Amino acid sequence: MKRWLWLVLSLVSASAFAIDGAEILRKVDRNLEPESYEAYRKLIDIQPDGSRKEYVLYTLKKDGDKVVALFLSPASDKGRATLRLAENMWLYMPDVGRPIRITSLQSVTGSVFNNADILRIDYGEEYTVEGAEEQKEAHLLTLKAKTEDVAYDRLKMWVDKRSLLPVTIEAYAASGLLIKTLRFKDVKDFGGGIRRPATIETDYHGNRPLVVLANLSGFDGSPESMRRWQLEYGAEIGRAVTNFRGPIVFVVVSRYHGGAFVVFSQRLNEGFLWSAQTGYAPLRRKFHLPDEPGGWEAQWFERGDAAFPRFNAGPLAFGLNICTELWALDTYAHYAALGGLQAILSPRATAAATTDKWLAVGTVAAVRTGAYSLSSNRADHAAGTYGGAGWVISPDGALLARTTAEQPFCTVDIDLNATTTAHGTYPRYVFAHHPPRTTP
């Protein structure tokens, strides 16, 4: 009986001395700053070469996970503001006039201070306590990020036993790499019962991140791309690359905008296929390039593919003639020789004043190949540079639909089986067995 009693007492005694890491972290958060406060802060970025840049911010925090920071200086950043609501962050720049989504690891200052540093919320909001260890003068807490959106995967936090304030924090990436160390110094009385470090030093240990950008897709003008802020993200990525002082490796970085596909050293006007199932898939790049006012493509773009293959999207077999390539009349005989073509797709950027001649060549494309001619056009009615109509033309040359400034979007049902019949009728059958001769 005595033996069992001794075992029970021993277990109770051991549990009584266990460290409650979650409670320590809660007290650390409250000792560092109240749940709601307003303050002025100065960020000083000192580079290895001795150069430095200072930022002064007015910061307002509420309820532990809502923070806004307004830049007061330097003059180049004055008026910029950052907002954080839990894990969501935005940057507002006066010259842009609208908020831009940002992430915790990005830096709106282009310095060692990332957005999570500038808009820091309670540690308990972002991390859970994985372990707690008692050392001679400090508690050592091991913290794990609750989500992948948190700036650092793990933290090691040394907490002074008497003040329950952090002394040192080491921030680690998911790979285990030590990214930086924060040292809390100069504990001062700020009034109102707040006694906390006045200075936080950040040491990167010379471990600058290696940024690898791969398979980066950009803004394609679609509603989905708009909803996902792709244009804003692309601008923020460009800013980050410009400001980043460490090594950067570009693997396969690409961006498309309105049909133009850019791969850093080359600018290519590329047609592509997109679906929710397969995502982005390149088709072909424009070969015939104009070189005149309103269309200096030969100077801006690299020449693309000379071949005009047949593509498939679900049940549709189609050819792709990008804008000027509608006038490549030899491609129509080529398509006829391939057989089975059901549509010629022609994305364009042509002026409204030239619509009649573009409709004429679109009709030729349909009648010569026995396929539907489908064309969309860039809209720019105010400037007048673009704004020509889009259309749907039947295999026999009938105009089935046409867009206008008043009706910029239209749909029409088409019968793909009609192209099978059309391939055997005039004028297609005339050229079926004796295709025109072409000079190699």
Mean pLDDT value of segment 249-257:
46
Show me where the domains of the chain are located. Answer: 36-119, 122-209, 211-285, 308-432
The pLDDT-based confidence of 255 (bands split at 50, 70, 90) is: very low
Lowest mean per-residue pLDDT among 169-183, 239-253, 309-323: 239-253
- pLDDT of the residue at 18: 65
User: Bridge partners of 197?
Assistant: 187
The pLDDT-based confidence of 295 (bands split at 50, 70, 90) is: confident
Determine what percent of the chain is predicted with pLDDT higher than 70. Answer: 75
Residue 410 has pLDDT above 90, yes or no: no
CB-CB contact of 320 with 348 (8 Å): no
3-state secondary structure at position 128? strand
Token pair, residue 277, equals 């199932």
Token pair, residue 256, equals 């498309």
Residue 8 has pLDDT above 50, yes or no: no
- pLDDT of the residue at 110: 64
**CA nearest 141: which of 155, 122, 152?**
155
Please name the fold of domain 122-209: outer membrane lipoprotein receptor (LolB), chain A (2.50.20)
- Which H or E run contains 428? helix 428-432
Please name the fold of domain 308-432: Nitrilase/N-carbamoyl-D-aminoacid amidohydrolase (3.60.110)
Mean pLDDT value of segment 324-337:
91
The alpha carbons of the chain give a radius of gyration, in whole angstroms, of 32
Q: What is the pLDDT of residues 340-376, one digit of tens each?
A: 899 999 999 888 888 999 999 999 999 999 999 999 9
Mean pLDDT value of segment 211-217:
45
What is the pLDDT of the chain when averaged over all its residues? 78
Q: What is the pLDDT of residues 83-109, one digit of tens each?
A: 988 888 888 888 767 787 777 766 767
- pLDDT of the residue at 215: 40
Q: What is the pLDDT of residues 358-368, one digit of tens each?
A: 999 999 999 99
- Alpha-carbon 86 to chain mean position: 20
Let me know if the fold of 36-119 is the same as that of 308-432: no
Residue 409 has pLDDT above 90, yes or no: no
- pLDDT of the residue at 40: 87
Q: What is the pLDDT of residues 20-57, one digit of tens each?
A: 999 999 999 888 888 888 888 888 877 767 778 888 88
Mean pLDDT value of segment 143-167:
91
CATH H superfamily, domain 36-119 = Lipoprotein localisation LolA/LolB/LppX (2.50.20.10)
